[in-house]
Amino acid sequence: MSNELIQKLKRKLIVSCQAEGDSPFNSPEGVTMFAKAAIIGGAAAIRSEGIAKTKMIIDQTNVPVIGLVKSKFEDGSVRITGCFKDVEDLISIGTHIIAIDGTFRLRENLSGPDFINKVKSEFDCLVMADIAKEDEAIECAEAGADLISTTLNGYTPETIQDKIKSPNFELVKSIVDKIRIPVIAEGRINTPQDAGKMIDSGAYAVVVGTAITRPHIITGWFVDAITKTYK
């Protein structure tokens, strides 16, 4: 069944339905509406943050849901599903795939690969390792992750400079050449052309979030372009 679920993602679009802060969509109902709209458009799976939001999406849709819980490391950078309680909570609501921070940063005295290895040994669940660098991807694959995602490239202190690579096709190509498990492209994929190029680069599937489910940010792109043109 696990292989069948992963196979459903092959060469497909996964839409990240997340909302934070003062977004009017920052509620279980809000992100679930986004998820339903994405599925109508052809999304093969949904990525969701938070227990209540993820549960509602699971309950009201019929596609695989990749769930996670966000928190922060001591330096303020984002951490994805960083403790065993988060994993237990996501499993308890029926999350199909659990996204876990696979970076080398320590949480509960474990690096990402070590944490994933322990999760896989103690829980019956599919794990997507969110990584920032190639060596993290390799070690997470060796630790037992079922999928690798480039989610955190550009969002860790060591890779902040990669934010200028929008998106980082080179990282995806490099990882695909070195590991055997599916590599999911995520991060700064803002056009259909970018998504298609990621598949051409060897990505198993593509995750798009902001360009589909963050209307206030998309609006800002247009406003900025107009402002710069007519200064």
pLDDT band with cut points at 50, 70 and 90 for residue 231? low
Q: Which fold has domain 2-229?
A: TIM Barrel (3.20.20)
Confidence band for 2, pLDDT divided at 50, 70 and 90: confident
Confidence of residue 165 (pLDDT cuts 50, 70, 90): confident
What pTM was estimated for this model as a whole?
0.96
**At 46, is the pLDDT very low, low, confident or very high (cuts 50, 70, 90)?**
very high
| CA gap 113, 97 in Å, rounded | 17
Average pLDDT over residues 142-150: 98
Whole-angstrom Cα distance, residue 83 to residue 79?
10
End-to-end CA gap in the chain: 57
Contact predicate 148/102, CB 8 Å:
yes
d(CA 10, CA 31) in angstroms, rounded, equals 24
Cβ density class 188-206: b for 16+ within 10 Å, e for less = bbbeeebbebbbebebbbb
Least confident of 63-67, 99-103, 149-153, 163-167: 163-167
Helix or strand run (H / E) with residue 143: helix 134-143
Q: What percent of the chain has pLDDT over 90?
A: 94
Going by DSSP bridges, is the β-strand pair 70-72/65-68 parallel, antiparallel, or unpaired? unpaired
Mean pLDDT of 28-40: 98
CB 50 within 8 A of CB 17: no
Mean predicted lDDT score pLDDT of the chain:
96
Query: pLDDT at position 163, please?
Result: 87
- The torsion angles phi and psi of 149, rounded to 5 degrees, stand at -130, 140
146 contacts 6 by C-beta, under 8 angstroms: yes
The pLDDT of residue 1 is above 60: no
Percent of the chain's residues with pLDDT above 70 = 99
